[in-house]
Structure 1
Amino acid sequence: MSLRVATVITRLEGGAGVMALRGAKALDPDAHEVTVIAGSGRLLPEAEAAGLETVVEPALRTPISPVHDLLALHRLTGLLRRFDVVHTHCSKAGAVGRAAAHRAGVGRVVHTFHGFGFHRFQPAYRRRTYIEVERRLGRITDLALCVGTGVSVEALQRGLLPPERIRTIGVAVDHAAPTCTDDNRHRARELLGLEPEDVVIGAVGRLTYQKAPEHFVAALVELRHRGVVGVWIGGGEEAEEVRTLAVDAGVDVVFTGERDDVADLLPAFDVFTLPSRYEGLPLAVVEAMVCGVPVVATAVNAVSDVVAPGETGLLVPPHRPDLLAAAVAHLLDNPVEAARMAGAARARLEGRHEIGALATALDRAYRAE
């Protein structure tokens, strides 16, 4: 029997948007009729090109806005009545979408935690409020899919849902994407306007507080290596602020803005960095490891699912750009060790985090198997 599935997300972009779209596209179209409902997102044309129905709900926005949130709740309640399954992603769409699905009497509600809206760097009262909201939403959620073990563990510890209604999934990456061959490295650097001799330290993600791009810039300042060029792939609300910060600090950083060819650009990096304050299991770090780029990341949430310290990469505490710089310098100064860790990372990920596995997990979640 074909299931009518609504995939609800605030912005169909970034890692969560890519994951949501890859999952929707991978499902068997004979068994699933998928509609993507989003407030916005640069991936909506890709969803349409894949033959998925798309609905744009402008009231579905990231910032908390009582007027827009209530309007989105009202509109989604009417829209979702025709679906068998509602699958929500991220905090805002997760809250409004699950509440609307419950009001509409939808038979099965699934939510993916790509990470959490609460974290240790926000005021305690706000964190407690967000946790309580998630606990209440958990009562109307049939199943939570957590991206990474660290996310599942926190969901359990916080009591967001009962243990039997929490499952761990991985991110879905394209294992056929370009790897760090000499040709791919040369081509990627041409695309970025970089020279062959540049020492390239890269990052991928939205320029937001969560991703800590100012710590990326600070780490570049700390590095004492010649010819270092930073590359940040992704846009976001802090773009102008971070560009100004880099200029004032006197460091060379290429800000690419949003790109659809991230996998093609990764071979340009000598070291991939993830300076985030908090995360789930970021798609970009797994893609970098599959590509064969040595990784330095902050030890947050589920990152340690793939980055084993000293084995498949290096981990540093968040909010420590000095240690981030030191770890990057270590890899640059010890290329044999860096190559060993990059090779171990690729080997560990072989046969894991495949798109087919995500499709299977989603089908089981939707059919309550």
Structure 2
Amino acid sequence: MKKRILFICGDLNPKDLGGAEVHIVEVIKGLADRGHKCEVFVGNSDAICEIFTHENINVHTVSYMKVRNFASITYTEAAVRHISEFLHRESVDILHAKQVFPQAYIGAKLARRFELPLYVTVQNPMAYKEEMVLRGRIMRVFGSVWLKFAERWVRIGLKAADFCGCVSRYSESRAIDMGAGKTGIVPNGVDTNVFHPAKDRVDGYKIVTTSTLIPRNGIDTLVRAFGAASAEFPQATLEIAGEGPMEDELRSMAGRQQDADSKTQTAESRVKFLGTLSHKEVPDLLRSADLFVRPSRFEGFGVSFIEAMACGVPVITCPSGGIVDFVVDGETGILVPPDKPDQLANAIISVFRDRGKLENLKKNALQMVRERYSWDKIVDKVEEAYRQL
């Protein structure tokens, strides 16, 4: 039986889609292709309409005041008001919240008010807290008050959910710790028609990463490790796709390494900051790479890793959060401890020295991604969960 689903999404920028955004966009498109009606509430409908063109998808704008540091609050109040007005006029079968904060809380209020089942996608239920701790913001004025407030909203949303679709075992365990009831694993996926290996490429020493430049992604560790690895392989290059508050610090770090390096290449030629790439540009970057490295400190899942794997690019990362669901050390990737640039450098060097090992990692990872992480398989899991609501 086909459903009418109301999605609570927040802002979706088609030019800057992270893992959580890609997940909900692909799920919505997949459900629409299967005949389900999707009512999508976002904060910026003009841009996202470029993506949602299916006749079964209707996009609704939640207009709200984007007050710095308080956007979650202003969006929540506006979303509850706008969606309530819609539900007084229209009927739907299911509410689906894109994230735990603040969308799950919005869903909880609406589910109770209109007696509707609530599905919550759980990426990393405590990402907001981990990020504040890493940035040191937790010690700032009102930091602890804000954390208590946010955590209360997360707990309310998770407890109210009839089903929490968690992207990894790590996310599931965190959600259960915070009061979630019925849970299941509904991972992130990858479009293997878009992310696929290059037909012909020459092996080299190019390392790439796609990452928002924030502390939890560990790009500072990568830049330090690259300095040591490039001493062994001076022809190696590092290309960093993404922007964020750490960019100036990372550029300075790369520059300081160059000052201490007597090699003829400039820092600019060896470490390149590419800025934010559109989702359409990422596959070509990945296919040009010999290695994908992101030594994440926290990761609910990490869709960038399976995108790299789908492009036939081996990955080096850390055993944090949901990464261990798909990176088996020495089989589908290489794992090193977080915040250990020397060990990361050694891992990079070992892979570049042993091309046979590199090829095995490619083959195993590509097979695993195709078997487990296509979007068709993910949408199957979402539909099965819907049937149980």
TM tier, smaller: 0.7 to 0.9
8 Å contact 1:15–1:283 — kept in the other structure? Answer: yes
Deviation at 1:159, TM superposition (A): 4.3
Aligned equivalents of 2:227 and 2:87: distance in 1? 50
SS of 2:215 mapped into structure 1: coil
Deviation at 1:201, TM superposition (A): 0.9
Q: Does 1:232 align with 2:240?
A: yes
8 Å contact 2:93–2:117 — kept in the other structure? Answer: yes
1:254 equivalent in structure 2: 272
**1:291 aligned residue (311, 323, 330):** 311
8 Å contact 1:203–1:273 — kept in the other structure? Answer: yes
Deviations 1:253-306 (A, max 9, x none): 233322223123211111111222211111111121122211101111111111
2:8 equivalent in structure 1: 8
Q: Does 1:220 align with 2:226?
A: yes
1:175 equivalent in structure 2: 192
SS of 1:49 mapped into structure 2: coil
**2:164 aligned residue (144, 147, 160):** 144
Aligned equivalents of 1:298 and 1:282: distance in 2? 11
Structure 1 residues 88 and 43, CA gap change in structure 2 (3 angstroms): farther
Deviation at 1:233, TM superposition (A): 2.4
8 Å contact 2:168–2:300 — kept in the other structure? Answer: yes
**1:55 aligned residue (53, 57, 60):** 60
Deviations 1:158-184 (A, max 9, x none): 14312xx1010122212234544463x
1:302 equivalent in structure 2: 322
Deviation at 1:130, TM superposition (A): 5.0
Q: Does 1:18 align with 2:26?
A: no
Q: How does 1:116-155 map to 2 (within 5 A)?
A: 116=125, 117=127, 118-119=129-130, 122=133, 130-155=150-175
Deviation at 1:357, TM superposition (A): 1.4
Q: Does 1:347 align with 2:346?
A: no
Q: Which amino acid aligns with 2:239?
A: V
Structure 1 residues 180 and 44, CA gap change in structure 2 (3 angstroms): same
Structure 1 residues 40 and 279, CA gap change in structure 2 (3 angstroms): farther
8 Å contact 1:203–1:272 — kept in the other structure? Answer: yes
Aligned equivalents of 2:147 and 2:347: distance in 1? 31
Q: Which amino acid aligns with 2:60?
A: V
Deviation at 1:119, TM superposition (A): 3.5
Q: Which amino acid aligns with 1:115?
A: N
SS of 1:119 mapped into structure 2: helix
Structure 1 residues 67 and 328, CA gap change in structure 2 (3 angstroms): same
Deviations 1:198-252 (A, max 9, x none): x211111222333233222222223222122211223345445544543454343
Q: Does 1:107 align with 2:126?
A: no
Deviates more, 1:206-215 or 1:39-48: 39-48
Q: Does 1:323 align with 2:343?
A: yes
Q: Does 1:275 align with 2:299?
A: no
SS of 1:269 mapped into structure 2: coil
Structure 1: unaligned runs, 5 residues or longer: 187-195
Q: Larger C-alpha radius of gyration, 1 or 2?
A: 2
**2:214 aligned residue (186, 208, 213):** 208
Q: Which amino acid aligns with 1:364?
A: E
8 Å contact 1:6–1:80 — kept in the other structure? Answer: no
Aligned equivalents of 2:183 and 2:209: distance in 1? 31
8 Å contact 1:5–1:86 — kept in the other structure? Answer: yes
**Matched residues, percent identical?**
23
Q: Which amino acid aligns with 1:234?
A: G
Structure ranking higher in strand proportion: 1
RMSD between superposed Cα atoms in Å: 3.0
Aligned equivalents of 2:295 and 2:74: distance in 1? 34
1:360 equivalent in structure 2: 380
SS of 1:8 mapped into structure 2: strand
Aligned equivalents of 1:353 and 1:339: distance in 2? 21
Give the TM-score taking structure 1 as reference length: 0.84
Give the TM-score taking structure 2 as reference length: 0.80
Deviation at 1:31, TM superposition (A): 3.8
8 Å contact 1:8–1:93 — kept in the other structure? Answer: no
**2:77 aligned residue (50, 60, 70):** 70
Aligned equivalents of 1:332 and 1:43: distance in 2? 41
Aligned equivalents of 2:341 and 2:213: distance in 1? 16
8 Å contact 2:96–2:120 — kept in the other structure? Answer: yes
8 Å contact 2:32–2:54 — kept in the other structure? Answer: no
2:262 equivalent in structure 1: none
2:179 equivalent in structure 1: 160
8 Å contact 1:173–1:287 — kept in the other structure? Answer: yes
Deviation at 1:127, TM superposition (A): 6.6
Deviation at 1:147, TM superposition (A): 0.4
Deviation at 1:133, TM superposition (A): 3.7
8 Å contact 1:173–1:286 — kept in the other structure? Answer: yes
Structure 1 residues 68 and 15, CA gap change in structure 2 (3 angstroms): closer
Aligned equivalents of 1:316 and 1:281: distance in 2? 17
